Amino acid sequence: MDKNQAIGFTLMAALLMVYFYFFAPQRPQQPEGSQADTISTVTNKPDTTQAPTPQAKEEAEQPVAEASKDSAEVSVTQFGIFSTAMEGEENEVTIENDLLELKYSTKGGLIKRVALKEYDDYQYKFPLVLLDEQSSRVRYIISTQYGSIDLADLYYNSDIQQQGDTTVLTFTADLATGTYIKHIYKLAPDNYHFTHKFVIYGLENEIKGNNVSMIWDNKLKRLETDIEYSRNYTTINYWLVNDQDMEELKARSSDKQEVTFNQPVSWFSFKQKFFTSGYAFNKPVSSGYFSSIYDESDTVTVKYCRSVIDLPLSHFTEDSAPNKQYYGPNKLKYLKKVTKGFDENLYLGWPVVKWINKYVIITIFNFLEKHISSYGIIIIILVFIIKIILSPLTYKSHIQMAKTKALKPELDELKKKYGGDMQKMQAEQMKLYSQVGVNPLSGCIPMLLQMPILFAMFQFIPHAVELRHESFLWAHDLSTYDSIISWSANIPLISSFYGNHVSLFTLLMTVSTILYTWINSQSTAQMEGPMKSMQYFMPIIFMFVLNKFPAGLTFYYFVSNLVSFGQIAVIRKFVDDEKIRAILEENKRKNANKKKSKFQARLDEALKATEQAKKKKGKK
């Protein structure tokens, strides 16, 4: 590995370190203050410790009228037009397709439980319950002359019909003559999203402010084994219509996150590492509030999240389009069906990296998934495909190393001659490169061009729900680290920077990277000084950084190193050192009288100016 190769490697390593700094899992800290003061739980009364928008705050802080069968002091007649729906019998109604099971209650006409049939929970129990009445509660609060009323406390009549292969569930609360409230749900097959049409008819004179406050308190359930890692990827996302961009609450912060928005938002979601619960409005909403916080000691709830949204009555008319709800995996083919921008819940990296993932990596992965059942084998094949795609760059990089190796005698001679004058040394080195037709940057450029692929895999594999609970070799789950040794004791520095376990795939990746670096160093021009040690230092850093990352990712890098060994062996068979030396000599002969390039001329002028300055300084 020559100097230019080393520069390319160092730049690549520096970019990786910056990338890992922003996206590596961090050990969360205990939030300040007591849990009673900082955590919003799902309660029957609105949480007044947070700061919704003015209208939503006013509605949320009003006492909510509820009918109680156990209290003689409460009479349903005090609720006027809503009295007829304040009493009833609560029953459960279930609709389902091949992917989802949705359980509703006739009290409120809202979802009571969501189960994903094709997935299991972190204890490997089917089905995965994404939310239930203990973890999630949605309220629709209106302000009336009788006080604040929660429409989720009304009793509804239910009706289920089939429209072709689509299941239609309707909840109706008939109030006074000609007035009613309806929830209409339509669930089609092979979808994790469904429509929700919410109709409020004839109540314009009853609802003050013509506004409904939607309050969703969601204690996001633990779905993955590594809850600490999961928290780093759990947040609230929302889509800004004017900016055509997704915003999010900071997922990695241990402090309470909250935001009040006053510009159009078309959807929001409670996004976890592999699964998302989301709501897309039939029309953009212009004011609302989101918040999230967590308790590090809580091993059941990942984060406590809340949304408070102001919904104008114009969203609830008979002719309004339905809203959409999504409960499912962070899988591109399902997310992109919901609404514009909703697929951003699956983060695939920066623009170039995202395009590579969307149109190359995921396409290849989905094709392989249809024909191969082992995801470990799929990763291996993926490595070979990517290596073949990048082979021209790899070949060019090795040719450059071979050329630099062939020039080693001349470079050593220049070091002896100008070793004490770095500027003169660099000028003569550039002159030599120009004469023999070698571009000093051609060694690091191929490495840098491979970076988008490297970043693409770094984003895709940790977020691939397909790898969840898939085993390979000794790794029981490719979506989390493969631990061969673990300990419970808190060891200073080690626990903070390395963790409390040893990942075998990470160790194999580190050893293979060091071996690959050593082989390159032995077969190319030798480096000297700190640069020689630096090439071995970076793999050690990555060993600490990647120890907490999914086994699928470190396995990919390990296999990639093994394939690189094979590439080196094949390329060497086609690289003739004597032939390369002859080509360089021929180029040197042809370019002996070649006119200097503008860059070389400027470099010579700068060198002469420096020498003259030194002479003047010496005379003084």
Work out the average pLDDT over 442-447: 67
Does the pLDDT of residue 301 top 60, yes or no?
A: yes
Work out the average pLDDT over 535-550: 86
| pLDDT on residue 72 | 35
| pLDDT on residue 397 | 79
pLDDT digits (tens, 9 = 90+) for 584-599: 777 777 766 666 566 5
Does the pLDDT of residue 103 top 90, yes or no?
A: yes
Q: What is the per-residue DSSP string for 506-552?
A: HHHHHHHHHHHHHHHHHHSPPP-THHHHHHHHHHHHHHHHHTTS-HH
| pLDDT on residue 138 | 97
- Which residue type is seen at 95? I
pLDDT digits (tens, 9 = 90+) for 371-401: 999 999 999 999 999 999 988 888 887 777 7
| pLDDT on residue 58 | 46
CA distance 57 to 308: 8
Longest CA–CA separation in the chain, Å: 109
Give the start-to-end residue ranges of the domains of the chain.
Answer: 3-25+354-473+555-588, 50-347
- Determine phi and psi for 191, rounding to 5 degrees: -140, 145
Does the pLDDT of residue 202 top 60, yes or no?
A: yes
Structure confidence at residue 27 as a pLDDT band (50, 70, 90): very low
The sign of the dihedral angle between the CA atoms of 447, 450, 452, 455 is negative
Q: Please write down the HEC assignment for all residues of 79-142.
A: HHHHHHHCCCCCCEEEEECCCEEEEEECECCCEEEEEECCCCCCCCCCCEEEECCCCEEEEEEE
| pLDDT on residue 407 | 77
In the chain, the percentage of residues whose pLDDT exceeds 70 is 79
Does the pLDDT of residue 610 top 70, yes or no?
A: no
Structure confidence at residue 44 as a pLDDT band (50, 70, 90): very low
| pLDDT on residue 436 | 76
Tokens of 86: 């304040």
pLDDT winner (highest mean) among 266-280, 555-569, 600-614: 266-280
Tokens 């070793």: give the residue.
419
User: How many CA atoms within 13 Å lie on the side-chain side of 115?
Assistant: 15
Pairing of strands 166-174, 301-312: unpaired
| pLDDT on residue 617 | 62
Tokens of 257: 């996150």
Query: Which is more confident, 332 or 67?
Result: 332
pLDDT digits (tens, 9 = 90+) for 218-260: 999 999 999 989 999 999 999 999 999 999 999 998 899 999 9
Structure confidence at residue 29 as a pLDDT band (50, 70, 90): very low
Of residues 233, 334, 545, the one with CA closest to residue 553: 545
CA distance 318 to 340: 24
Instruction: Report pTM.
Output: 0.82
H/E element holding 16?
helix 3-23
Q: Please write down the HEC assignment for all residues of 388-420.
A: HHHHHHHHHHHHHHHHHHHCHHHHHHHHHHHCC
Query: Which is more confident, 394 or 306?
Result: 306
Mean per-residue pLDDT of the chain = 83
- Beta-bridge mates of residue 312: 211
Query: Which is more confident, 501 or 533?
Result: 501
Tokens 């390329």: give the residue.
571
Query: Which is more confident, 349 or 49?
Result: 349
Q: What CATH class does 50-347 carry?
A: mainly beta
Work out the average pLDDT over 366-375: 96
In the chain, the percentage of residues whose pLDDT exceeds 90 is 58
pLDDT digits (tens, 9 = 90+) for 130-181: 999 999 999 999 999 999 999 999 999 999 999 999 999 999 999 988 899 9
Does the pLDDT of residue 532 top 90, yes or no?
A: no
| pLDDT on residue 272 | 97
Q: 461, exposed or middle or buried, with CB in 10 Å at 0-12, 13-18, 19+?
A: buried
Of the given ranges (77-81, 220-224, 450-454), which has the lowest mean pLDDT?
Answer: 77-81
Which distant-in-sequence residues (6+ apart) come within 8 Å of 534 by Cβ?
Answer: 6, 10
Of the given ranges (33-42, 119-128, 572-581), which has the lowest mean pLDDT?
Answer: 33-42
CA distance 516 to 580: 23
